Chain A
Amino acid sequence: MKTYTRTFSILLFSISLLTITACKVTFVPAYDAQITQQIDQTAKAVDKFYLFMLETTASDTIGRSFTKFSEQYINVEVEMNSLLNKNKIRPLNENSTRICEINLQLWQKYKEEHKRKNTLSDGVIKLNRKTFNDLFYAMQVAEEGKNIRAPNP
């Protein structure tokens, strides 16, 4: 009887411990360092793309025609799509997914504008660069924000 009571107490203690330790809330997914790195690389690629266009070409020549940049547009769009899919697949990640959707939506919009006009003014290049800087920063803030989740020691 004594052995039975002791076994029961140990079992009860173990179940209680497991129940309590399993009781953690999760509102955001775990931080992903690889995604942070990919955001940084894509942000740099976009920044370089617009800076290169601004510094090495002029709007009144064929130097800024769409075909000269179409391959780079594709390369960046591939990375943005990849970021969207990687974020979409993570549970509890609707906020970061939405930021990626907006990023991709505006990238495609500005690409179509460039294709339609077959040139871009200096001012519009600066504005596009600024818009994507802001969007990538928001993306970084969202990913780094997930790092806050670890409790203080």
Chain B
Amino acid sequence: MNLDINALFADMLSAIKGTVSNNRDKVETIAKQFLAQNKETLQLIAGLRISGELSDEEFKSRLQDEKLVLEAQFNALEVVSKAIAQQAANAALDVLEKAVIAVIS
């Protein structure tokens, strides 16, 4: 039995596409949740500055803190993206593994 390299690569690509498209909604949903959270927090910070509960210095400090929260959120999204990439790569390798085993056995 010969290894059809073109068919194999097409199958591997299909496995990658399937994995990525299955998980695309997850990333989008999480990103939207993060944006909604940040909007609420920024509204809260602005409201506290207007009411005088935060001084100008505290207001600026809280905005800096919000940048850190944003950094944390990007880190979380990066984990999800890496996990999806890992799953896609392994799905492609599974296809390769099965094809090679079929040829050599």
Contacts and interface: CB of A to CB of B under 8 A. Distances in A.
Nearest to A92: B82
Given A23-B93, A142-B79, A121 B53 contact: yes
A13 B85 CA distance: 30
Contacts of B104: 13, 16
Interface residues of B, number: 50
A27 B86 contact: yes
22 contacts: A23-B93, A24-B93, A27-B86, A28-B79, A95-B78, A98-B75, A102-B69, A103-B72, A123-B44, A123-B48, A123-B51, A130-B44, A131-B66, A138-B34, A138-B72, A142-B76, A142-B79, A145-B76, A145-B79, A149-B83, A149-B86, A151-B90
Interface of B: 18-19, 22-23, 26, 30, 33-34, 37-38, 40-41, 44-45, 47-48, 51, 53-54, 62, 65-66, 68-69, 71-73, 75-80, 82-87, 89-91, 93-94, 96-97, 100-101, 104-105
